[in-house]
Amino acid sequence: MAENSILYWGSGSPPCWRIMIALQEKKLHSMPQKLLSFDKQEHKLPEVLAINPRGQLPSFKHEGNVVNESLAACMYLESQFKSQGNPLIPDAPAEQALVYQRMFEVLTLHQKMADFAFYNWRVPEPERHETALARNKSALTTEFTLWEGYLGKMGPRSYIAGKNFTMADVVLFPQLALCVRFGLSQKRYPCLLDYYNRVKERPSIQTTWPPHWRETPPTMDPLKDV
Amino acid sequence: MAENSILYWGSGSPPCWRIMIALQEKKLHSMPQKLLSFDKQEHKLPEVLAINPRGQLPSFKHEGNVVNESLAACMYLESQFKSQGNPLIPDAPAEQALVYQRMFEVLTLHQKMADFAFYNWRVPEPERHETALARNKSALTTEFTLWEGYLGKMGPRSYIAGKNFTMADVVLFPQLALCVRFGLSQKRYPCLLDYYNRVKERPSIQTTWPPHWRETPPTMDPLKDV
């Protein structure tokens, strides 16, 4: 019989990592989790396709309820376990507005990062253009500068949406960590790197650190000059 | 003095329209709203940039709290006015899971639609390739087929996430309406078009219908063969 609750995940995928951090923060330590290999195309396994017609990771089912989109799963977990573990979405209007705003802005950071760093992977060779790559790089620089400014304005030792760790950090951190692994410059973005170095020590993040990142150094640094 | 609550919006923009529908559903009829022109670059006006460094529409401020990302604004409005107007996010786990899942999947539909329908607008002429356009068209067909299947499985007269109108419809409908305006085929996607024809009569949607859509017929139908 298929399990009623299961998280299928891939190592190093920011969307997967978000759900794993949220599970830790909400003290849902016993949620069944299964690590699958993107390289082996295990995200197309029948057991994944049974709950996710897109055949993507994460694929997540909680007590029979399927929520595969990472932000959807995070919202669901916070709502269903509001009083368990750490509160991740504040009730006060001003704080809540900023958490929601930053959570959703991360999707733009993700898009712009992928458009540049995964350009050769996403665009077939005959369709590649140096002009497009340069434009994507410029857009990504603008994006990082915006986030650097957000953190700069928050003051020292802040999280991305205030004095407390929130869902905005759950969503942002895995994306930023991938950027750092890809060579994001401490010199150009000191606030982002300071934030990264502080938040990475959090137990929910250490516990869920991508296993293949521990074992192997990065093989490319596409963001070193961004 | 700058207003404490204001929605800056552009006619025909699905993200803007989502917030306008949510405001109607939550009975926030007196929220100040200002229609701006994309053609005249009014989304780059100082009053917009003052609350949105991205210079995009929608830009939204409620009692001094800025939430520009459309899904963030929708979540914020539902949370802050939970018991006012129509409930848009159910509390019951199974229903809630599906609403969140569909809400966030709309972002993929949006992306794939834009990649195809706005290809010539987004990609400079020297960088265009028929192969890329064909690939984007195929991905969009797959996406529409998925949504057609979702509605087909829900049964007649359903909304996208169940028997009731929810935030998933608030997020989906404006995107689908743009697809219909761009020529989406009733023959190929009968469930999507039946849903569209039913939901468009809802008062919150009629009241907020894009003004320039009422006045001018569409000038292109890029989706007619998708």
Interface test with A, best of B61, B81, B104, B138 (most A CBs within 10 A): B104
Q: What is the side-by-side strand order in the sheet with B65-66? A: B33-36, B6-10, B59-62, B65-66
Rounded Cα distance between A69 and A58, Å, is 7
* Cβ contact A65–B132 (<8 Å): no
Burial class (CB in 10 A: 0-12, 13-18, 19+), B133: middle
Q: Which of A64, A76, A96 sits opposite B76 (nearest CB)?
A: A96
**B223 located within any domain:** no
State whether A42 and A110 are in the same domain.
Answer: no
The DSSP bridge partners found for residue A177 are: none
Of A181, A170, A178, the residue nearest A21 (C-alpha): A170
Query: What pLDDT does residue B3 have?
Result: 79
Check if the beta carbon of residue A59 is closer than 8 Å to that of residue A51.
yes
Q: Which chain A residues contact residue B144 at CB under 8 A?
A: none
Owner of token pair 């999507």? B192
Q: Is the residue at A223 inside a domain?
A: no
CATH code (residue B210): 1.20.1050.10
On whether residue B101 sits in a domain, the answer given is yes
User: What range does the domain containing B112 cover?
Assistant: 93-215
How much is the pLDDT for A3?
A: 79
Enumerate the residues of chain A whose CB falls inside 8 A of the CB of residue B96.
Answer: 65, 76, 79-80
What pLDDT was estimated at residue B2?
A: 59
Q: Dihedral sign, CA of A156, A157, A163, A166?
A: positive
- Alpha-carbon gap: A98 to the closest alpha carbon of chain B (Å): 7
- Let me know whether B164 and B65 are in one domain: no
- Is the Cβ pair B72, A129 closer than 8 Å? no
State which residues of chain B have pLDDT below 70: 1-2
Q: What is the CATH number of the domain that holds B39?
A: 3.40.30.10
Closest C-alpha to B188, from B217, B133, B149: B149
3-state secondary structure of B35: strand
Same domain, B75 and B98: no
Question: Pairing relation of β-strands A59-62 and A33-36?
Answer: unpaired
Q: Report the domain count for chain B.
A: 2
Q: Which of A81, A101, A153 to mutate to test the interface with B (most CBs of B within 10 A)?
A: A101
Amino acid (one-letter) located at B193: L
**Mode of pairing for the β-strands spanning B6-10 and A59-62:** unpaired
What pLDDT is attached to residue B1? 45
**B12 and B123 inside one domain:** no
Q: What percent of chain A has pLDDT over 70?
A: 99
Query: Which of A54, A101, A127 is closest, CB to CB, to B132?
Result: A127
Amino acid, single-letter form, for residue B84: Q
Q: Helix B130-154 vs helix B93-117: angle between axes, to the nearest 10 degrees?
A: 150
Select from B89, B100, B102, B144 the residue whose CB has the most chain A CBs within 10 Å, as the one to mutate to test that interface. B100
The whole-number pLDDT of residue A2 equals 59
| Same domain as A68, residue A20 | yes
User: Are A29 and A51 within one domain?
Assistant: yes
- What tokens were used for B10? 């552009």
Cα separations (Å) of A14 from A5, A9, A173, B109?
21, 10, 8, 20
Residue among B99, B210, B126, B149 nearest A80 (CA): B99
Q: State the ipTM, two decimals.
A: 0.97
What tens digit of pLDDT does each residue of A195-213 get?
999 999 999 999 999 999 9
% of chain A residues with pLDDT over 90? 97
Domain end among B20, B53, B80: B80
Q: Of B51, B80, B109, which one is at a domain's C-terminal end? A: B80
- Looking at the fold, whether A22 and A70 belong to one and the same domain comes out as yes
Spatial CB neighbours of B86, under 8 Å, sequence gap ≥ 6 = B25, B26, B165
Residue A88 falls within a domain, yes or no? no
Q: How does pLDDT run across A209-225, given as a tens digit for each residue?
A: 999 999 999 988 999 99
End-to-end CA distance of chain B: give it in Å, rounded.
49
Cα three-residue angle B79-B80-B85, rounded to 5 degrees: 90
**Residues B121 and B203 grouped into a single domain:** yes
> Which contacts (CB < 8 Å, 24+ apart) does range A182-187 have?
A182/A117, A182/A218, A182/A220, A182/A221, A182/A222, A182/A223, A183/A218, A183/A220, A183/A221, A183/A222, A183/A223, A183/A224, A184/A144, A184/A223, A184/A224, A184/A226, A185/A223, A185/A224, A185/A225, A185/A226
- Residue A1 confidence (pLDDT): 45
End-to-end distance of chain A based on CA atoms, in angstroms? 49
Answer whether residue A226 is part of any domain.
Answer: no
Q: What are phi and psi of A8, to 5 degrees?
A: -90, 130
Of B70, B98, B171, B146, which Cα lies nearest the Cα of A68?
B98
